[in-house]
Structure 1
Amino acid sequence: MSERNLEQLFIKRSQQKKKTSPLNYKERLFVLSDDKISYYDYDPEKGKKKSLKGSIELEKIKCVETVIPEDNSPPERQFPFQIIYDEGPLYVFSKSDDIRKLWIRKIRHVVRFNKDLMHKYHPRFWEDGIWRCCQQAVKQAMGCRVLETRNGGFANRSERHRKSQKPLPPTPEEEKPSRPLPPQPPPQPQQQGPCPGSTVIAEYSYPPMAPTDLELRKDEEYTILEMSDANWWKARDKYGKEGYIPANYVTEATNGLEKFEWYCKNMNRSQAEHLMRTENKDGGFLVRDSSKAGKYTVSVFSKAGGETVGMCKHYNICTTSQGQFYLAQSHNFSSIPDLINYHQHNSAGLVSRLKHFVSNRADSAPSPFGLGYGVWEIDPTHLTFIKELGCGQFGVVKYGKWQGQHDVAIKMIKEGSMSELDFIEEAKVMMKLRHQNLVQLYGVCTTQRPIYIVTEFLSNGCLLTYLRETLKGPTPIHLLEMCKDVTEGMAYLESQQFIHRDLAARNCLVAANGDIKVTDFGLSRYVLDDEYTSSAGTKFPVRWSPPEVLLYCKFSSKSDIWAYGVLMWEIYTLGKMPYERLNNSEIVDKVSTGLRLYRPQLANERVYSIMSTCWREKAEERPTFEELASNVQDLLYEMQ
């Protein structure tokens, strides 16, 4: 007989009935033993258990988590938790939070080695045929919230071996080993990347922009001397010359893939296909980062049978439980370069042998962190104006050159449109925001009027115009990749406690390679007069605003989440105007009473469910950008 670990009276909700009523909530005696959780009818007068009502084998449990209480729930149902197993969720109500925490902690401990542990869950109840958190109508639908505790209480999802020895099909499912892995310890703070004294290799050439800069020559080694600024490191070249270099132009000498021409860092699927089709070479290939962090994908172009159009195939590089890499399971290698070398000589089931590497690395250098180390105030005489790009809420935006050679965008702020002194102070903070999906602020010109804001230049312009006029026949993956770019940029802003306040397609830009970058973050606070309408003296974009902004002018990262859902809608409608048939006053009334945007034709139910989570009426029930980024990334991985 198994040893009992815990025993407690809980209220259990019926799993069988669609409708919930007081009759569906009954007190049961729960017993946690070494191999199962059992629940019994209970006689309160005699203090004894009666007949067995059900049980769950511990090995079938996939997740145990809290549940957000139902609206207007009685006091005895304020501390619910869920035990998710093969048949779905079992909802249990504890008498106190301490007892609930004890049971969750204990169950997590005993099931931590189970197979197929979940990494996402539904934080609200399944009720009346729908998930109350994300409005999905399929009970088996993947959870909408990432489990924050999966590394602290659950072991990571184990990998499983494929039975077949055939080569992997394009974009196979994530693999799992035959035996469960032990739980990983919580991540410990540690030094990321190189440190002073270490050697780095230049991934790109960098001509000095300021007197204190050091020239970088691609593929040469440099010694890091000082890292007091996270974005500009002091370094020494092999000739003994010292100066500052942009941190995103170099990589550690021990980092394996960056030195290979076939590795294209930060390239997505759509960009890879465009590049390979442009090259139009049979057997053209590249290796890129997968949409799953830490994984890699081999993209191959083939003109099998003499086809002129050709096709692109994508293969995830998988790992065995011993840490070896493979595309075809019978051919395992200790490193990715060895794997690529083998498939350059043997197709081994791939659509083609890897014949010609395709790369854009010569043209894909990232934007440096400013126009040289320490450059903040820019001399306007160093700017050359070439052409007008458009006219925004602050004034004219022009494309130009800095010192005759570096592309920049210049916002010429018309007088009276902005609270200039406040902005200049804020811009010093904004200069320190660095992310590949944010438009880089290079500096300002404040010694004359009008003042200039000088930023990174993106050749494909505004996302809204790009959607309406340039983008032709986009694939579902391409549209979702656009959304992914925005979530990652906004997740970074969120991590820096920075609120955008005006997130929309018009405030995103498109780079030459198709990357989407967020711009104008925080600028709306300094608007003195624009086209936005307010009901309470504060200006804001009505069509992108949640009820708490429309009614109370309450901005937060959660109002940015709402706006992101509208931006996703813009992307999937290829640039339509939200609530196009309503005026601003009607929008305030109808959105505040429950109106939401319809599902775009190009968006499937999974995509629309992500949008819908952004439009929950209560701000605290909306996801974070980190959660959104994870959800979009997971969906993108499944679609590939």
Structure 2
Amino acid sequence: MSDSNLEEIFIKRSQQKKKTSPLNYKERLFVLSEHKICYFDYDPEKKKKKALKGSVDLEKIKCVETVIPDENAPAERQFPFQIIYDEGPLYVFAKSDDIRKKWIHRIRQVVRFNKDLMQKYHPCFWEDGVWKCCQQVVKQAMGCRVMETRNGGFKQTLRKSRKPLPPTPEEEKPCRPLPPQPPPQQGPCPGSTVIAEYPYTPVQPQDLELRKDEEYTILEMSDPNWWRARDKYGTEGYIPSNYVTEAMNGLERFDWYCKNMNRSQAEHLLKTENKDGGFLVRDSSKAGKYTVSVFSKVGGETVGICKHYNICTTPQGQFYLAQSHNFNSIPDLINYHQHNSAGLVSRLKHIMSNRADSAPSPFGLGYGVWEIDPTHLTFIKELGCGQFGVVKYGKWQGQHDVAIKMIKEGSMSEDDFIEEAKVMMKLRHQKLVQLYGVCTKQKPIYIVTEFLSNGCLLTYLRESLKNPTPIHLLEMCKDVSEGMAYLESEQFIHRDLAARNCLVAANGTIKVTDFGLSRYVLDDEYTSSAGTKFPVRWSPPEVLLYSKFSSKSDIWAYGVLMWEIYTMGKMPYDRLNNSEIVDKVSTGLRLYRPQLANERVYSIMSICWRDKAEDRPTFLELVSNVQDLLYEMQ
């Protein structure tokens, strides 16, 4: 037997039968070889293996981990471990913890270069149609515990060869793999050179004009959102930090790179341009990875198709789309495929970019702007009437689109809000609607925010969105989870998360708005759970019964918002009144699975609706779950 092989008698649990019984546990001889784990029927009297009963290809293994034994498990089933591969979990019971550790360690060594190794796993058994650890009812549901880094831990790297690997010394600690592109950066610092990705027209006397693709020197970075810079003519002023990128660093300098674009937006752009061989490069749904999206009119057809290719890396850090064509950088890869299709549906003929139209919203209306002069606002049309009064679309200084909330007197605790708004101005994320400033020196006071042309998400779902794909709906959920994860990281609670409090940008991006405003409502019907205006349908039991708000109550509301997205804007619990909802939700009622949501999507909703707040995930975990599912779907 070679040094990489192991043999051991284990008890194996049946993978097929739903109910567990003594007949489901049988002794098998397990053999770990160069390419497989095989298990055989075993004759204990003659001490030799008999018929092969099954095998697992090593290259298909995604995870090997311990399992928490059942409370009443007999002595021979006290040391279980699991081998997760394409067909699900294979449960094996060792005779001792030392034997279990030895096998787990050796298998991890051999498979540590596998593709798609899991980052999360289920620590308890799948039994009788449910995961005992988290009560999810989908066997393929995302794990509920994050993998730990330990000796023999996984390394997410590609490897072509299955030759035996040299043993890893016990004291060696594996390193966490870094994303291959872009490389770790510290970002610009005072004195460094940046390039303007987008043009910027000054709106304040102290601002500096940005001209696309020109270089600027950073002078001061005391405000993370507005940097003081100097252009090549010696002029100095403040620039929005999200309009520039470090010179000669990353992909931002290439027109084919569309930052922050998702799959649905890429397909819309490519199909609108309708050019055979039109392409772009975008961020993949998995952090640190990139995707090439290509439009092709196969066979000269009028209606084309979009194809999406993940950019892969070799163990040596080279990039490829077709395995036999490897390159040292992504720009080199793109340049090659602009001249050779090499396995793609088409060579990359035409750069498709929306960068001229997709400049991000600057963080405010200029450096230091807080109190806005109402005479600088022009009101153009009414957008609707919200909790606090009329909302209008307008212009600031005649050129910048803004939304203006005109706060009706008596609807808000204005002094408290004005103090808090200074904090809210500092909450800045691409998936949050940006608060630009306030007008407080007259009545009514105004709240001035970023304007999003497609309006309220709830109305968009009900009236504008036609025949969405499953990926499109999940991307909408991803946008909201990213914005909420940022609020969570800032220890800021929304308190009224729902589709009505999200807005839709021109490119389809969803942004969260009105975060924290519910604290300043003076309406008794709104602030009491017994009232008709209180968001009962989005509230967990601890809010309904005890008015206990937390980031975990926002998690519950996020699950309901996902349900709204997948029902195209239906009213949650539409056949129940508020008092019935309080009674039934507090005793276990949950929303049904929408027709457009598969079991995996519904399992994400369901973990948001766990009875105990502490059992619900964080938004950071939800972002990871949604990203992983999106990556699998693409």
TM-score (norm 1): 0.82
Alpha-carbon offset, residue 486 of structure 1:
0.6
> In structure 2, how many angstroms separate the alpha carbons of the residues matched to 1:432 and 1:92?
54
2:483 to 484, 489, 495: 489
The one-letter amino acid of 1:517's match is: K
2:228 to 231, 234, 237: 234
Is the Cα–Cα contact under 8 Å of residues 504 and 566 in structure 1 kept in the other structure?
yes
State how far apart, in whole Å, the 2-side matches of 1:286 and 1:407 are: 28
Q: Which amino acid aligns with 1:230?
A: P
One-letter code of the match for 2:148? T
Structure 2 letter corresponding to 1:143: M
Q: Deviations over 1:75-123 (max 9, x none)?
A: x9xx999655568375999xxxxx99x9999987666534155311125
Which residue of 2 is the match for residue 334 of structure 1?
Answer: 328
Letter in 2 for 1:276: L
Measured at CA, do residues 428 and 113 of structure 1 come closer, stay the same or move farther in structure 2, by a change above 3 Å?
farther
1:455-492 CA distance string (max 9 Å, x none): 10000000000000000111111101101111111111
Paired position in structure 1 for 2:52: none
Matched, 1:597 2:591: yes
Q: Is the deviation greater in 258-267 or in 462-471?
A: 258-267
Instruction: Name the CA shift for 1:340/1:429 in 2 (closer, same or farther; >3 Å).
Output: same
Q: CA deviation at 1:337?
A: 1.6
Task: State the partner residue of 1:129.
Answer: 129
Shift of the 233–80 alpha-carbon distance from structure 1 to 2, 3 Å rule, reads farther
Matches within 5 A, 1:53-452: 63=63, 83-84=82-83, 88=89, 112-115=108-111, 116=114, 117-137=117-137, 139=139, 141-145=140-144, 147=146, 149-150=148-149, 154-161=153-160, 183-185=174-176, 192-452=186-446
Comparing 565-574 with 229-238, which one deviates more in the overlay? 229-238
Equivalent residues of 2:480, 2:511 under 8 A apart: yes
Contact 1:161 1:178 in 2 (8 A): no
The residue number in structure 2 matching 1:165 is none
- 1:283-315: per-residue Cα shift (whole Å, max 9, x none)? 111111111111111111111222112111111
1:457 and 2:448 aligned: no
Equivalents in 2 of 1:124, 1:357: separation in Å?
Answer: 49
RMSD over aligned Cα atoms:
4.1
Aligned residue in 1 for 2:39? none
What secondary structure, in the 3-state scheme, does the structure 1 residue paired with 2:109 have?
A: coil
Any idea what the Cα deviations from partners look like across 1:222-260, whole Å, max 9, x if unmatched?
Answer: 111121211111111111122111111001113242111
Shift of 1:328: 1.5
Quick one: structure 1 residues 620 and 110, their matched pair in 2 at CA, closer, same or farther if it must change by over 3 Å?
farther
Query: 3-state DSSP class of the match of 1:408?
Result: strand
Aligned residue type for 2:128? D
Q: CA deviation at 1:161?
A: 3.7
Pick aligned residue for 1:569 from 545, 548, 563: 563
The Cα shift of 1:452 comes to 0.7
User: Could you tell me how far apart the structure 1 residues matched to 2:441 and 2:93 are?
Assistant: 66
Q: 1:391 to 1:184 in 2, by over 3 A?
A: same
Matches within 5 A, 1:542-553: 542-553=536-547
Question: Residues 498-528 of structure 1: CA distance to partner in whole angstroms, max 9, x if unpaired?
Answer: 1111110000000000000000111111111
**Count, aligned residues:** 593
Distance 1:345-1:607 versus aligned 2 partners, 3 A rule: same
Q: How far off its partner does 1:414 sit? A: 0.8
**Pair 1:586-2:580 in alignment:** yes
Matched-pair identity in %: 79
How far apart in 1 are the matches of 2:207 and 2:93? 63
For residue 174 of structure 2, what is the amino acid of its counterpart? P
Q: For residues 165 and 268 of structure 2, what CA distance do their matches in structure 1 show?
A: 40
In 2: Cα distance, 1:65 partner to 1:538 partner: 50
* 8 Å contact from structure 1 (residues 159, 177) kept in 2: no
- 1:321-371 Cα offsets, whole Å, 9 max, x none, are 222222112222222222222222222222122111111100000000101
Counterpart amino acid of 1:158? T
1:590, CA displacement in angstroms?
A: 0.7
Query: Does the Cα contact within 8 Å between 2:532 and 2:578 map onto a contact in 1?
Result: no
Separation of aligned partners in 2, 1:611 and 1:592? 17
Q: Secondary structure at the match of 2:327?
A: coil
SS in 1 for 2:288: coil
Residue 339 of structure 2 aligns to a residue in which SS? coil
SS in 2 for 1:216: coil
Distance 1:67 1:554 in 2: 35
- Residues of 2 paired with 1:533 and 1:13: CA distance? 56
Aligned AA (1:122) = H
Distance 1:197 1:606 in 2: 49
Offset from partner CA, 1:406-459 (integer Å, 9 cap, x none) = 100011111111111111111111111111100011111111111111110000
CA contact (8 A) 2:401 2:451 kept: yes
More off after superposition, 542-551 vs 346-355: 346-355
What displacement does 1:531 show?
5.6
Question: Secondary structure of the equivalent of 1:113?
Answer: helix
Matching of residues 621-640 of structure 1 within 5 Å? 621-640=615-634
Distance 1:113 1:233 in 2: 48
The answer to whether the 8 Å contact 2:555/2:619 transfers is: yes
Aligned partners of 2:516 and 2:251: how far apart in 1? 37
Aligned position for 2:469: 475
In the alignment, is the contact (CA less than 8 A) between 1:62 and 1:114 conserved in 2? no
Which sits farther off after the overlay, 395-404 or 616-625?
616-625
Is the contact between residue 533 and residue 542 of structure 1 (CA under 8 Å) also seen in structure 2? no
Q: Which amino acid aligns with 1:429?
A: V
- For residues 394 and 478 of structure 1, do their structure 2 counterparts lie closer, same or farther at Cα, with a shift above 3 Å needed? same
Structure 2 residue 510 is matched with structure 1 residue 516: yes
Give the Å deviation of 1:67.
7.2
Q: Secondary structure at the match of 1:363?
A: coil
8 A contact 1:377–1:445 mirrored in 2: yes
Distance 1:545 1:322, change over 3 A: same
Aligned to 2:44: none
Unmatched 5+ residue regions in structure 2? 4-10, 26-33, 35-46, 48-54, 179-183
Q: Give the AA of the match of 1:582.
A: L
- Counterpart-to-counterpart distance in 1, 2:491 and 2:247: 33
Kept in 2: contact 1:120–1:142 (CA 8 A): no
CA offsets per residue over residues 159-182 of structure 1, 9 Å max, x none?
A: 2449xxxxxxxxxxxxx9997998
Name the CA distance, whole Å, in 1 between partners of 2:101 and 2:233.
59
* SS of equivalent residue, structure 2 residue 228: strand
User: For 1:240, what is the secondary structure of its paired residue?
Assistant: coil
Q: Secondary structure at the match of 1:411?
A: strand
Q: What is the TM-score normalised by the length of structure 2?
A: 0.83
Gaps of at least 5 residues in structure 1 are: 4-11, 27-34, 36-50, 94-98, 163-175
